[in-house]
Amino acid sequence: MGSPLGTKETRGFPPFSKPILIISGLLPADKRNHIKKLIEKYLEDFSRGRLKKPEKCELCRRKQCLNWHGFYSRQVISLAGTEYIPIRRVLCKECGKTFAVLPGFILKRRRYGIDVMRFALEGAERTTCEKAAGELVHIYGLFIDSLTIWLWKKKIPKLFLQAAPQM
Ligand SMILES: [Zn+2]
């Protein structure tokens, strides 16, 4: 049984077993290229059938019981723009539930990519939510309400910003 360490603090958020985007310290154009490359790599892995299935079922936590189970299309808004990407689903043989296998650059039920959230949250930490929203418009042409950034700040745990190694 034994639940993983930190379960309490991260409740409601997906486990960050996937690599988190490393964008801190990069210049704006490099951040855009970085996410672009990650998305391209993901699309290539998808089309070549190279995506990896998670080891455990997200719901019942049993191991080696997942089969691919179709896919759907999902919008992702990143620092590189807006696009639709395919998301594969898996079906658990043990509990019969299905869930999505998301790439490392997006979170469940959130339209904006992790790169956008990180950029906004780092800006908000440094200055204010309003200024962070202004930077997103000015640098990336992305209009995000400062209230949205404020809500991210409330909901996204600090872990999100701290977990990724700095470049
Ligand atoms: Zn299961």
Distance 91 CA to ligand 1 centre (A): 8
Q: Which amino acid is at 151?
A: L
pLDDT at 159 over 70: no
Q: What integer pLDDT is reported at residue 19 of this predicted model?
A: 42
CA atoms 6, 7, 10, 16: torsion sign = positive
pLDDT at 11 over 60: no
The candidate with the shortest Cα–Cα distance to 129, out of 121, 137, 117, is: 121
What are the boundaries of each domain within the chain?
A: 26-111, 113-160
Distance 150 CA to ligand 1 centre (A): 35
Q: What integer pLDDT is reported at residue 154 of this predicted model?
A: 86
CA dist 14 → 21, 31, 116 (Å): 15, 23, 17
Q: What integer pLDDT is reported at residue 122 of this predicted model?
A: 86
pTM of the model: 0.78
Distance 67 CA to ligand 1 centre (A): 11
Q: Which tens digits make up the pLDDT trace of 70-92?
A: 999 999 999 999 999 999 999 99
Q: Which tens digits make up the pLDDT trace of 17-47?
A: 344 455 566 788 888 998 999 999 999 999 9
Q: Which tens digits make up the pLDDT trace of 106-152?
A: 888 888 998 999 889 889 988 999 999 999 999 999 999 999 999 99
Q: How far apart are CA 58 and CA 73, in angstroms?
A: 20
Distance 69 CA to ligand 1 centre (A): 13
Q: What integer pLDDT is reported at residue 137 of this predicted model?
A: 94
Distance 48 CA to ligand 1 centre (A): 26
**What residues sit around ligand 1, an ion, with C-beta below 5 angstroms?**
57, 59-60, 92, 94-95
Distance 98 CA to ligand 1 centre (A): 8
